Structure 1
């Protein structure tokens, strides 16, 4: 009975944030006479947001959990999509080739970023800022500042669909779980998180693992760039750290996912964090909320959630005391 009770509590803890968010978003839309999921396009937009945010959250968390703040992931997304789209347009390749090329280029760009971090021996923030500027400039040079447009190319814009995005979500989630929870690389990654000096003394190659983390993050961001490009059929240029904005979409789902991950696999927690923020993003779109209001509301939600996490024990004790007092009465 205790085991069943603990399982039920875990299920509630895992589902409470996404379900509560969905109910609130449905209520807000209903109050304005709008249905949250009214058309097929709404479902596509929702699953596209889940896929993009989940992959970005994975990419950000891999290095951030190791103390490496990587500002370059947005520029990797940009440059990988520019290269893959340009190659496919020039050689008239299919959207499948565009996805594969984007992933491969993302991995290569991530490796370059990791090798530079290892070689120059500067703080990762400084290295990643330099890499971001370089990749943004390279994307600008390749397109001569005009970006890439293939709106009329029905082949390269044929990817967006509910099934395609669900496929990306499932495949990425399985790969991340297997790679970090059931492979040697993941065991070494966790060992380095627990105790770097001890792990290195035991023979774990810290440099190899760090470059691997950058490569995986790069591959994930290659898919993010592909999703964005194949959806709109255009790739706009970003300069002067404009690509960094992509990274900030992952902070709220990362913290939410980290909380949910206490009760399940951490990667599943990040996925549910992305689902939660996708509900909010869809609500913004359905109610035509301005971008400035969106940023303010999202920032407030993030701050409130961080306040809760920092005072979780105090808040929990308050509720426990109240429940005990009510039982005694």
Structure 2
């Protein structure tokens, strides 16, 4: 019983944010006469979108905690299926074949980022912006910029229940096992804590970096397959940084997941963080808030979340001081 209580308490702390946002927008939607938000159908759709977003967020996590910013993840999601879809359809290899070829394409694109960074040693932020522009150009000229389209519905099972959940959860379990239970994950955390000290103990920083980008590519390949399978169509970006929205939606989920990792494992925390962001977006949409303002709303939410979580010690000290002053004034 003594062990069960902390587990239940940590689970409550982990889930209180998405539950609070869900209840808030359900109340607001009812007030203005919008009854669709909060229904089982809407929650199921949000959960399906969470599988895609969580894979993108997890793909960014290992690099982000090591201060490696990758702005090209959205383009990798788009370009990998633009490359793989016609190949998979022409070979008639079904949904598993589409998944494998997409993962291979995403891993190659992700490794290009890693190799360029290792060769020129400029900040990954600069490298990823450069490769992002290059990938976008390739997407616009590949097969005449027609994007990716699959008409065979049998190849699109990873966009429907239960397969989209099976693939998303499997990707999360792979990340959890690698990050929490292997030497790779230990090295990632050690390098994030103190890179110089970690290298001095024998950890191979370059090898770990390449492994991080390979894992990122695998997860992005899963996200790309699910993203294509939802509708069967992925359009090539029609303007500069057209796929960056995927990355900016994933960033808050990463930060939420990192914070929630004190109560649960990082993989589950990131899924909860992604679900929270998807709830926030769906809630704003149900209130009639335009897309441009939704991005603004997510930005404000992230700033407030980081401000509160980063200053919890100060907030706690302020509350203790107020309590002491209240007791003194009452005496």
Q: TM-score, normalised by structure 2?
A: 0.90
What residue in structure 2 maps to residue 95 of structure 1?
95
What residue in structure 2 maps to residue 13 of structure 1?
13
Task: Tell me the distance in 2 between the aligned counterparts of 1:39 and 1:182.
Answer: 35
Task: Tell me the distance in 1 between the aligned counterparts of 2:36 and 2:324.
Answer: 41
What residue in structure 2 maps to residue 194 of structure 1?
193
What residue in structure 2 maps to residue 209 of structure 1?
208
Which sits farther off after the overlay, 77-86 or 12-21? Answer: 12-21
Which sits farther off after the overlay, 117-126 or 88-97? Answer: 88-97
Question: What is the aligned-residue RMSD (CA, Å)?
Answer: 2.3
What residue in structure 2 maps to residue 108 of structure 1?
108
Task: Tell me the distance in 2 between the aligned counterparts of 1:54 and 1:319.
Answer: 35
What residue in structure 1 maps to residue 64 of structure 2?
64
Task: Tell me the distance in 1 between the aligned counterparts of 2:34 and 2:44.
Answer: 21
Secondary structure, in 3 states, of the residue corresponding to 2:102? Answer: helix
Which sits farther off after the overlay, 318-327 or 240-249? Answer: 318-327
What residue in structure 2 maps to residue 135 of structure 1?
135
What residue in structure 2 maps to residue 80 of structure 1?
80
Task: Tell me the distance in 2 between the aligned counterparts of 1:288 and 1:224.
Answer: 28
Task: Tell me the distance in 2 between the aligned counterparts of 1:220 and 1:95.
Answer: 16
Distance 1:193 1:267, change over 3 A: same
Task: Tell me the distance in 1 between the aligned counterparts of 2:3 and 2:213.
Answer: 40
Cα distance, 1:280 vs structure 2? 1.9
What residue in structure 1 maps to residue 171 of structure 2?
172
Write the mapping of 1:271-282 to structure 2, written as runs, cut at 5 A: 271-282=271-282
Task: Tell me the distance in 1 between the aligned counterparts of 2:297 and 2:221.
Answer: 29
Cα distance, 1:176 vs structure 2? 0.8
Task: Tell me the distance in 2 between the aligned counterparts of 1:224 and 1:83.
Answer: 15
Deviation per CA, 1:247-278: give whole Å up to 9, x if none.
10112222222221112212221111112112
Task: Tell me the distance in 2 between the aligned counterparts of 1:260 and 1:103.
Answer: 28
Contact map agreement 1:111 1:212 (CA 8 A) in 2: no
Distance 1:197 1:300, change over 3 A: closer
Query: Structure 1 stretches of 5 or more lacking a match?
Result: none
Task: Tell me the distance in 2 between the aligned counterparts of 1:211 and 1:129.
Answer: 19
Query: Structure 2 stretches of 5 or more lacking a match?
Result: none
Secondary structure, in 3 states, of the residue corresponding to 1:272? Answer: helix
Task: Tell me the distance in 1 between the aligned counterparts of 2:248 and 2:130.
Answer: 18
Cα distance, 1:287 vs structure 2? 4.2
Task: Tell me the distance in 1 between the aligned counterparts of 2:27 and 2:59.
Answer: 33
Distance 1:36 1:323, change over 3 A: farther
Distance 1:179 1:4, change over 3 A: closer
What residue in structure 1 maps to residue 255 of structure 2?
255
Which sits farther off after the overlay, 24-33 or 116-125? Answer: 24-33
Task: Tell me the distance in 2 between the aligned counterparts of 1:49 and 1:90.
Answer: 28
Task: Tell me the distance in 1 between the aligned counterparts of 2:87 and 2:311.
Answer: 51
Distance 1:198 1:89, change over 3 A: same
Secondary structure, in 3 states, of the residue corresponding to 2:145? Answer: coil
Contact map agreement 1:176 1:267 (CA 8 A) in 2: yes
Deviation per CA, 1:203-254: give whole Å up to 9, x if none.
2211111011111112211222222211122111125332222210112222
